[in-house]
Structure 1
């Protein structure tokens, strides 16, 4: 199901859009912006991921479609600066559709003269392309663009741009469950977060999931207007009764290798940030129904891959084992 098809039945209500922004700078530090066809304002190139797509592939595709350019140095920015999420990233399009943007930013450099070969596609998304100095930016389309420009400005020693006010997010619910009533089992992005919690012996906390019967990490899916970090904190508390004084983002996991089919047939493309919990307090209390049991596992005691809840959790635990092998980890 395409986004356009979904909108016909979902209406203009808020959706969560997994998207990537492309920040290109020339040799003098100017940033490449496009004048958009929908509102006539300016933004960095970028857009929504396609099903099964990872962020860097999406960044390269969007850049080519919207500018006709390729960038050999294009890379995803490290966390946390590369992340996009939160209530301030609400956007209402001219036709009324509402969206909360979540995802990543990519960055690369091109010589200024590369713009001479720019050739956007014929979709009408790009009306004009131009290099802009970071201290002389045009009217930007939305807060995601303002945050991106503020990140570049911080590298240049410039102050951040003010964000436009946004409406309060919808009340908490179960966004993905409501969405499934419309899209059925079709593949869909599920942005979310998982959390590494370790004890004094260096063992990791795993939960046996009530839906799959397999072991997983504390974590879950974003609600509209929630940041990745807020999701991590909420899910940790709901599923375990624990609270972390600090949650550090470690890595984004997204792409075709993290597609998961749940026992009921729903196909999920995970877009998940792995966090590490620090100074954890509270009494470990499994969430009734959602968590069948809890366990602390050493690095040589982890369940077999077949007993883990899919490729995402397997990759999360490989990352943890690699992290443990590093000095001062």
Structure 2
């Protein structure tokens, strides 16, 4: 059981602050990996909340592997995002204000694999072909970064 789940047992659905990592994986065609989420049925970026005793880079590595099957050994911090635009309410009523540390993964290897049940699909999209049903926080991140995130180099290790 994770930190947030344990905390929820004590406080119920009341709003909490969650620190976490969101990961950009860029392929050689400068497309970014998106996850079709099983909980909200919209599209977002891989990522999740910090557990006790983790660094943010460890969160990024763990969530990337759990949600996509990919492995990375290096992450570059793009920025930190917080405030009312990053509020989220889950379908069960749990409320959360997220503090998102957005990373681009470097030296990525592996094969896409939906491992944890949190994804219905994993697909790379260019900025001109994004799905219509983007998760609100993901859309806000994309809007805040404008074209910067699409100019990132490939995440994948070169052999």
Instruction: Indicate conservation of the 8 Å contact 2:20/2:50, yes or no.
Output: yes
Are residue 200 (structure 1) and residue 28 (structure 2) matched? yes
Instruction: Indicate conservation of the 8 Å contact 1:299/1:321, yes or no.
Output: no
Q: Which has the higher contact order (CA 8 A, sep 6+)?
A: 2
Instruction: Indicate conservation of the 8 Å contact 2:85/2:140, yes or no.
Output: no
Instruction: Indicate conservation of the 8 Å contact 2:66/2:116, yes or no.
Output: no
The alignment partner of 1:280 has SS state of coil
> TM-score scaled by structure 1?
0.44
Instruction: Indicate conservation of the 8 Å contact 1:214/1:308, yes or no.
Output: yes
1:321 is displaced (CA, Å) by 4.1
Instruction: Indicate conservation of the 8 Å contact 1:239/1:291, yes or no.
Output: yes
The alignment partner of 1:182 has SS state of helix
2:86 alignment counterpart: 258
Instruction: Indicate conservation of the 8 Å contact 2:26/2:153, yes or no.
Output: no
Instruction: Report the aligned-residue RMSD.
Output: 1.9
1:314 alignment counterpart: 139
Q: Within 5 Å, which residues of 2 pair with 1:198-277?
A: 198-277=26-105
1:249 is displaced (CA, Å) by 0.7
Report the Cα distance in structure 2 between the residues aligned to 1:176 and 1:285, rounded to whole angstroms.
25
Shift in alpha-carbon separation, 1:206–1:327, aligned structure 2, 3 A:
closer
Report the Cα distance in structure 2 between the residues aligned to 1:288 and 1:231, rounded to whole angstroms.
15
1:174 alignment counterpart: 2
Report the Cα distance in structure 2 between the residues aligned to 1:282 and 1:199, rounded to whole angstroms.
12
The alignment partner of 1:205 has SS state of strand
Shift in alpha-carbon separation, 1:196–1:224, aligned structure 2, 3 A:
same
Q: Which runs of 5+ in 2 are unaligned?
A: 155-159
Higher alpha-carbon Rg: 1
1:256 is displaced (CA, Å) by 1.6
Shift in alpha-carbon separation, 1:298–1:287, aligned structure 2, 3 A:
same
The size of the alignment, in residue pairs, is 154
Once the two structures are superposed, what CA deviation does each residue of 1:4-48 show, in whole Å capped at 9, x if it has no partner?
A: xxxxxxxxxxxxxxxxxxxxxxxxxxxxxxxxxxxxxxxxxxxxx
Once the two structures are superposed, what CA deviation does each residue of 1:191-245 show, in whole Å capped at 9, x if it has no partner?
A: 1010000111111100111111111111000001211111011100111111123
> TM-score scaled by structure 2?
0.89
Q: Paired residue for 2:11, among 180, 183, 187?
A: 183
Instruction: Indicate conservation of the 8 Å contact 2:35/2:119, yes or no.
Output: yes
Shift in alpha-carbon separation, 1:280–1:187, aligned structure 2, 3 A:
same
Report the Cα distance in structure 2 between the residues aligned to 1:253 and 1:201, rounded to whole angstroms.
26
**Structure 1: 4+ residue segments shifted above 6 A:** none
Report the Cα distance in structure 2 between the residues aligned to 1:189 and 1:179, rounded to whole angstroms.
11
1:37 alignment counterpart: none
Shift in alpha-carbon separation, 1:291–1:255, aligned structure 2, 3 A:
same
